[in-house]
Amino acid sequence: MFGLATFVSLFPAGLGAAAEQFRHWLLPGSVRPAGLLPLNLWLYEPLVMIFGLVAAGRAIFAGDGLRIRLALWAFVTILFSALYPGRATSDAYWVLLPFAALAAGELQTLMYLPGEQEDRLAYVSQVVIALVLFAYSWLSLTAYAEATRLAGSSTDNDALLISLGALALAAVISLMFGLGWSKAVAAQAFRVSVALALAVYGLAAMWSLTRLRPDSPLEPWNDRPASSQVNLLVKTLTDISNRNTGSPDGIEVAVLGDPVSALGWALRDFDNATFLDDLGPQIGSPAVITPQAIEDPTLGSAYVGESFTLREQFATAIPIPPDWAGWLAYRRGPVTADQVILWVRQDVQLPDSPVP
């Protein structure tokens, strides 16, 4: 390590640079909650986590060396992520890889039907009944979430009790199938129904993350997402620039803010963008961007403004609000928004208007 850092003692200052990099790794600028990694794992990949844990338990009791090593890999990664303050969403992949391998072996054992015709009928019947009860449980949970939203608090717990009762009934019916037919067939059918239900839930959760709410801070997997309105802000500036200068990025823009920011990156193609520390009557640029807190800036002409959201974030460290059912079913929760106002000079926005 010493030789690499100093290039075999030819560059002694490299040792200090290596120590500085280690300091940045140990004390990063961004610290995320320790519970975020387990939350992401169980929220988006419950099938992999549950069956991976079952396979890890079987491996320990059976003394399966390979699967024990996979389980050890996963648990060490979780522990490291909990201790390391610079944890990121991508750390979940290092846990999912060994758990996915473990879960795949466990799920493979479900890929068969009982040999006897009577057992097959009981098997299919139990799976269908369990899936119907799981679906009913989820619908009851969504009803509880809607009742909580309308009432403003979770005072009526009937729908929640019905949801939990449906899950309990699925377990009781599986037990009855085991007592009436075969315990092995009933256990296999219950595991298959749980796997199918978790697979459907996982697909729905990933569809919500990637299609319905790709930029929502209420999706814990999104690591400080930028709002889609950033692109709308750039498009608005581009349209105004095309109309007034004939170039998509030739308009003069005065920005009250830091150039090393999300807004600065969004405006990177605008060569005439100027970042300022203060505004005043001397500012007469065709376009001006200010934080939302400055609702009436002092400028050298008349302007019209429109607000845009740069970034939204959840109001607390872990995105689970008091209305947990509404968040789980619909991703409802309080967010804070970082907004700016795009001010366009009146004669630029409305070419027929005289300049005051």
* pLDDT of res. 347: 86
Q: Which whole-number Å values give the CA distances from 254 to 192, 270, 290, 330, in the listed order?
A: 61, 11, 9, 39
- Are residues 301 and 318 located together in one domain of the fold? yes
Would 173 be classed as within a structural domain?
yes
Instruction: Give the chain's mean pLDDT.
Output: 84
Give 84 or 205, the one with higher predicted confidence: 205
The residue range of the domain holding 286 is 229-349
Q: Which whole-number Å values give the CA distances from 1 to 6, 21, 22, 27, 233, in the listed order?
A: 9, 13, 12, 20, 48
- Are residues 85 and 171 located together in one domain of the fold? no
Helix (H) or strand (E) holding 342: strand 335-345
Supply 91's token pair.
């750390």
* pLDDT of res. 87: 64
Would 101 be classed as within a structural domain?
yes
* pLDDT of res. 23: 54
DSSP state letters, 250-266: -S-EEEES-SSSHHHHH
pLDDT digits (tens, 9 = 90+) for 139-190: 999 999 998 888 876 667 889 999 999 999 999 999 999 998 889 899 999 9
Q: Which whole-number Å values give the CA distances from 216 to 177, 200, 211, 307, 313, in the listed order?
A: 44, 22, 11, 18, 8
pLDDT digits (tens, 9 = 90+) for 83-128: 765 567 777 888 899 999 999 999 998 988 887 776 888 899 999 9
* pLDDT of res. 302: 86
The total number of structural domains in the chain stands at 3
Q: Using the Cα atoms of residue 177, residue 181, residue 183 and residue 188 in order, give the sign of their dihedral.
A: negative
- Are residues 104 and 124 located together in one domain of the fold? no
- Are residues 80 and 164 located together in one domain of the fold? no
- Are residues 287 and 181 located together in one domain of the fold? no
- Are residues 142 and 91 located together in one domain of the fold? no
d(CA 329, CA 146): 10
* pLDDT of res. 199: 96
Share of the chain above pLDDT 70, in %: 85
Residue 156, Cβ neighbours under 10 Å: how many?
Answer: 14
Domain boundary among 85, 108, 131: 108
d(CA 289, CA 113): 65
Domain boundary among 160, 184, 212: 212
Domain boundary among 77, 108, 139: 108
Would 10 be classed as within a structural domain?
no
Comparing CA positions, the residue from 197, 77, 207 lying closest to residue 141 is: 197
pLDDT digits (tens, 9 = 90+) for 61-91: 998 888 999 999 988 888 877 776 556 777 7
Would 7 be classed as within a structural domain?
no
Comparing CA positions, the residue from 74, 48, 46 lying closest to residue 60 is: 74
The pLDDT of residue 12 is above 50: no
Would 145 be classed as within a structural domain?
yes
Mean pLDDT of 317-333: 84
The pLDDT of residue 8 is above 50: no
- Are residues 141 and 173 located together in one domain of the fold? yes
- Are residues 38 and 98 located together in one domain of the fold? yes
Would 58 be classed as within a structural domain?
yes
- Are residues 101 and 124 located together in one domain of the fold? no
* pLDDT of res. 13: 45
Would 4 be classed as within a structural domain?
no
- Are residues 132 and 92 located together in one domain of the fold? no
Would 339 be classed as within a structural domain?
yes
Mean pLDDT of 28-49: 80
- Are residues 243 and 202 located together in one domain of the fold? no
Backbone angles phi, psi at 301, to 5 degrees: -160, 180
- Are residues 104 and 125 located together in one domain of the fold? no
d(CA 200, CA 207): 11
pLDDT digits (tens, 9 = 90+) for 223-269: 777 778 899 999 999 999 998 899 999 999 999 999 988 899 999 99
The pLDDT of residue 354 is above 50: no
How far from chain centre, in Å, is Cα 273? 32
The pLDDT of residue 7 is above 50: no
